[in-house]
Amino acid sequence: MRRILVSLCAILILLYVAGCSNNGVTPGTQTPTSPPPGTNPGGTSYQLQVTLDLSRNVGHAPLPVNMYANVIGGTPPYYFRWDVDGDGYWDYGGTGVSEVGIHYASPGLYEILLEVEDSMGQFYRANAPVDVKSSGPHAVPAAIPSSGSAPLSVSLDGSGSYDQDGYIVLWEWDFESDGVWDYESEDNPVAATQYSEQGTYNATLRVTDGDGLTDVASIKIICF
């Protein structure tokens, strides 16, 4: 009888231990870090949701963008992972990295991916596009000389103009800023002209880059 009672107690202890087991989950095992978008495996009492806000999502390079993660529900602390250029690799991560600031130097369409993990092992992903457009050219006119006695021969030079992400393909000069382009060239930014009468003139330079974007700037020329 005594042996039977001991056996029954041993069986009850084994059943109790089995009921308290972790169902085969080893403590400390890392939760997979690549769930599909919107994955939320947690229970209803710990549901985690995340939204992603951007200071801007379109503009010309170099484009500054601030990104903000808004967490709803879940159980803190939260771990944030950011892929800011859509290349499939996390660029930033940490428990306090709920905001990230980026400057996009090159034009292109970037897909930002944010992944948030809470202390219960729940994940949620949010994404947003950023359209970085070409920066366009910058017209930099120069005049040599920029003043003198009439009649004044002037060399108008646009060679200081530049394009951050490409090349300038067309230079145009309006010698008197009267709306008529007096000179144009695809390979020579320098034009020569003469101002025969006294007065103040504005010579206008227009440059065009390979994307068809333009910029205009003027320089003052004084004849006395």
H helices of 43-199, in order, are: none
24: left (phi over 0), alpha (psi -120 to 50) or beta: left
- pTM of the predicted structure, to 2 decimals: 0.60
Q: Report, at the CATH architecture level, how domain 137-223 is classified.
A: Sandwich (2.60)
Tokens of 124: 């949620």
CA distances from 174 to 179, 202, 204, 209, 219 (A): 7, 9, 5, 18, 11
H helices of the chain, in order, are: 2-19
* pLDDT at residue 20 tops 50: no
pLDDT, tens digit, for every residue of 26-49?
A: 222 233 445 544 455 544 556 889
The pLDDT assigned to 160 comes to: 97
**Higher local confidence (pLDDT), 37 or 58:** 58
Averaged pLDDT for residues 7-31: 31
Q: Which CATH superfamily is domain 33-133 in?
A: Immunoglobulins (2.60.40.10)
CA angle 138–140–144, rounded 5-degree value = 165
Number of other residues whose CB lies within 10 A of the CB of residue 134: 19
| CATH 2.60.40.10 domain span(s) along the chain | 33-133, 137-223
Task: Measure the CA–CA gap between 194 and 183, rounded to whole angstroms.
Answer: 13
